[in-house]
Amino acid sequence: MTTLIIGAHGQVGQHIVQQLAATGETVYGAIRNAEQAETITKLGGQARMFDLMGTADAMVPAMNGVDTVVFSAGSGGSTGDDMTLNIDLDGAIKSMIATEKAGIKRFIIVSALGTDDRSFWEKSGIRPYYVAKYYADQWLQHRTNLDYTIVRPGILTNDDPTGKISVDPANADSSKITRSDVAAAVVAVVKHPQPKQIIAIVNGDVAVADAIK
């Protein structure tokens, strides 16, 4: 199985590359800056150039020979709302379009817990981020024919991984999960396909692979 990780140089993306490559899978890390290639190689992946600000057609060559596309890109907290729209929304949608153009069926997107609750957007302090995530998820579900899985993690932390999660938590306000555990969940989804599903995750008391299965 061969997987392309879009956003491979991001914090969650690097964890995904490393953990998935450690299972023996072929992992391509999509990067915009050639200087990031060394990091991807050290993590066990192979770098492919990819520009989320480019056209969907221009993205297709990076998907050659790929079975599954994982979208884990984000504009980051240091950019403005314009880049949130460009990367988290438009970049995600163009990636979906490119995936279909490339003839790939499986698409996994890392979204966010609370995305489907507009009342949560208002109190989050980062409403544009949730708007972008919501409409990207909607496009994936209703405007594509992809076998998708939407992974919605809680508040991300850089704590040490626990290896345990809970699925479908009741409260989005205070639910947290380590970035490494998010990556482990994505790896489990790659290994155990969950087509046409939305999986909300936070740290909990069930082993990641068991919780996903």
Judging by DSSP bridges, how do beta strands 164-167 and 197-203 pair with one another? antiparallel
User: CA 122 to CA 212: how far, in whole Å?
Assistant: 30
Our answer to whether residue 129 is catalytic in this structure is: yes
Longest dimension (CA), the chain: 43
How far, in Å, CA of 132 to CA of 84, rounded?
7
Q: Assign 58 to helix, strand or coil.
A: helix
Active-site position among 129, 130, 134, 148: 129
| Distance (Å, whole) CA 59 – CA 65 | 13
Q: How do strand 164-167 and strand 206-207 relate by DSSP bridges?
A: antiparallel
Beta-sheet strand order (sheet of 46-49)? 46-49, 26-31, 2-6, 68-71, 106-110, 147-153, 197-203, 164-167, 206-207
User: What residues are annotated to the active site?
Assistant: 129
